């Protein structure tokens, strides 16, 4: 179908223009609140976020505690009752759980935290009972990141950065930019780095969201970003298959890591900061020694794009997921393969360990999130 926004042809059934992020014109029902056109069978208006579901429908009571649904990034915080997963095409969707909440450390006798928010634990037993709560952002969503202190939620996408208070979900800042493909907070939370479609890495001061500067050198879109645990180095991955390294003290370029033959799609530092792992469209994982940035080796086994990486909190295990539908586990002492987790019927797209390292969550294009017991 012809797109009136970018003047390109998109496949039939395309709901959002991948360039502008705008909804494709079509005959659609109208929102109960703002009366603007919306897709059929949606639960929340994409314009004003008003619910399209009658109160009490399905007999489930809404509570506070969230899941951000999608296909680029999954953050699992079982202790805090939070799972994050982002769709590359579509709005960020926040969901919550309906069962009786469990009181957590730091909560009051009513099960609420200091901000008065009801605390609930997402577990294999209640994960299927999540309910959609609200939608955030506009256009195409590429990345969602929480600040290290958990107070801010940043949504990066086709029209810029949306910054929200994590507790209240109130938008406190919107920054219009080029199409963003990636975003990452520094460990101290003082800086946010974003990767542009045009190959620029932009730096933002989180105290007032002013732009600190730009890092130039990439020749195409910056699809992956990662800060080292000590915050001294930023790694950025390019569509040309390279990884660039930046010294955060003065933002000078430390060097370029070459070896992948296709896009670099994921980056992760080990918890001790001694190793950087890069995943690529070529299906391989490459290991880099951070002391001298020499290549330690290559992990192969995936038959499709390596889309996400996650280290266990103790650093002893690396999990990698791929569009081949599998999640592979690697022992970091010798980088031998520990095993393969199969079950998704389509490509696995998101990955995260729980803080205690006993549970691994994987999201997939098949529309499911699977929880795996990987600890002792």
Q: Is residue 92 over pLDDT 70?
A: no
Range with the poorest average pLDDT among 223-227, 249-253, 296-300, 332-336 = 296-300
Which of 41-55, 107-121, 175-189, 293-307 is the most confident on average? 175-189
257-283 confidence digits (pLDDT tens): 999 988 898 999 999 999 999 998 888
- Note the pLDDT of residue 174: 93
Dihedral angle computed from the Cα positions of residues 90, 73, 144 and 284, in that order, rounded to the nearest 10 degrees: -110
CB 244 within 8 Å of CB 222: no
CB 353 within 8 Å of CB 360: yes
- Note the pLDDT of residue 132: 63
Q: How many CB atoms lie within 10 A of CB 154?
A: 24
Q: Distance (Å, rounded) from C-alpha 31 to C-alpha 60?
A: 22
Q: What are the DSSP calls for 76-131, one per residue? A: EEGGGTEEEE--SSS-EEEEEE-SPP---TT--TTSB-TTSPBP----TTTGGGEE
Backbone angles phi, psi at 363, to 5 degrees: -105, 155
User: 3-class SS at 180?
Assistant: strand
Q: Distance (Å, rounded) from C-alpha 186 to C-alpha 115?
A: 25
132-145 confidence digits (pLDDT tens): 666 655 677 888 88
- Note the pLDDT of residue 34: 64
Q: Is residue 90 over pLDDT 50?
A: no
* Residue that has been written with the tokens 């999608």 in this structure: 70
Confidence of residue 45 (pLDDT cuts 50, 70, 90): low
CB 296 within 8 Å of CB 288: yes
Using CA atoms, how far residue 144 sits from 31, 33, 84, 101, in Å, is 26, 27, 8, 26
232-247 confidence digits (pLDDT tens): 999 999 988 999 999 9
Domain-wise residue ranges, the chain? 1-50, 60-176
Q: Is residue 196 over pLDDT 90?
A: yes
Mean of pLDDT values over 35-50: 62
Burial class, 73, CB count within 10 angstroms (exposed 0-12 / middle 13-18 / buried 19+): buried
Cα 247 to chain center, whole Å? 24
Mean pLDDT of the chain: 75
- Note the pLDDT of residue 79: 35
CB 55 within 8 Å of CB 43: no
CB 104 within 8 Å of CB 34: no
- Note the pLDDT of residue 254: 96
- Note the pLDDT of residue 78: 36
Confidence of residue 69 (pLDDT cuts 50, 70, 90): very low
Q: Distance (Å, rounded) from C-alpha 205 to C-alpha 197?
A: 21
- Note the pLDDT of residue 207: 96
Nearest CA-CA partner of 303 in 326, 286, 330, 324:
324
User: 3-class SS at 61?
Assistant: coil
Q: Distance (Å, rounded) from C-alpha 92 to C-alpha 272?
A: 32
Using CA atoms, how far residue 68 sits from 148, 151, 156, 230, in Å, is 17, 16, 13, 28
User: Which residues, at least 6 apart from 15, have a Cβ–Cβ distance to it below 8 Å?
Assistant: 23, 24, 39, 89, 90
Q: Distance (Å, rounded) from C-alpha 289 to C-alpha 273?
A: 9
- Note the pLDDT of residue 63: 26
Q: Distance (Å, rounded) from C-alpha 88 to C-alpha 6?
A: 18
- Note the pLDDT of residue 253: 96
Q: Is residue 336 over pLDDT 70?
A: yes
Confidence of residue 86 (pLDDT cuts 50, 70, 90): very low
- Note the pLDDT of residue 260: 92
- Note the pLDDT of residue 307: 76
- Note the pLDDT of residue 237: 95
Which pairing describes strands 92-97 and 327-331: parallel, antiparallel, or unpaired? Answer: unpaired
């Amino acid at each position: 179908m012809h797109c009136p926004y970018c003047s390109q042809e998109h496949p039939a059934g395309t709901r959002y223009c991948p360039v502008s992020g705008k909804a494709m014109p079509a005959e659609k029902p109208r929102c109960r609140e703002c009366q603007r056109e919306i897709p059929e069978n949606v639960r929340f208006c994409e314009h004003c976020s008003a619910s399209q579901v009658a109160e009490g429908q399905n007999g489930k009571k809404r509570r506070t505690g969230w899941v951000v649904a999608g296909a680029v990034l999954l953050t699992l915080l079982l202790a805090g009752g939070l799972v994050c997963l982002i769709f590359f095409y579509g709005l960020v969707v926040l969901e919550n759980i309906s069962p009786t909440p469990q009181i957590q450390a730091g909560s009051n006798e009513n099960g609420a935290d200091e901000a008065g928010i009801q605390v609930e634990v997402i577990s294999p037993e209640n994960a299927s009972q999540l309910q959609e709560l609200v939608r955030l952002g506009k256009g195409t969503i590429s990345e969602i990141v929480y600040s290290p202190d958990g107070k801010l939620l940043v949504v990066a996408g086709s029209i810029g950065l949306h910054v929200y208070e994590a507790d209240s979900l109130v938008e406190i800042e919107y920054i219009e930019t080029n199409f963003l493909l990636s975003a990452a907070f520094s460990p101290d939370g003082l800086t946010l780095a974003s990767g542009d479609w045009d190959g620029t890495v932009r730096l933002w001061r989180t105290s007032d969201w002013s732009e600190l500067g730009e890092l130039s050198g990439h020749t195409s879109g910056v699809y992956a970003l990662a800060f080292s645990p000590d915050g001294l180095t930023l790694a950025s991955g390019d569509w040309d298959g390279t990884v660039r390294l930046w010294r955060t003290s003065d933002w000078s370029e430390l060097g370029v890591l070459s070896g992948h033959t296709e896009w670099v799609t994921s980056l992760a530092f080990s918890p001790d900061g001694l190793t950087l792992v890069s995943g690529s469209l070529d299906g391989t994982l490459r290991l880099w020694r951070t002391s001298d940035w020499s290549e330690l080796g290559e992990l192969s086994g995936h038959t499709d794009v390596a889309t996400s990486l996650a280290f266990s909190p103790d650093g002893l295990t690396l999990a990698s997921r791929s569009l081949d539908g599998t999640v592979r586990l690697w022992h970091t002492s010798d980088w031998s393969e520990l095993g393969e987790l199969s079950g998704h019927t389509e490509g696995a797209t998101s990955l995260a360990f729980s803080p205690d390292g006993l549970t691994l969550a994987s999201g997939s294009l098949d529309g499911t999130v699977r929880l795996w017991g990987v600890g002792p």
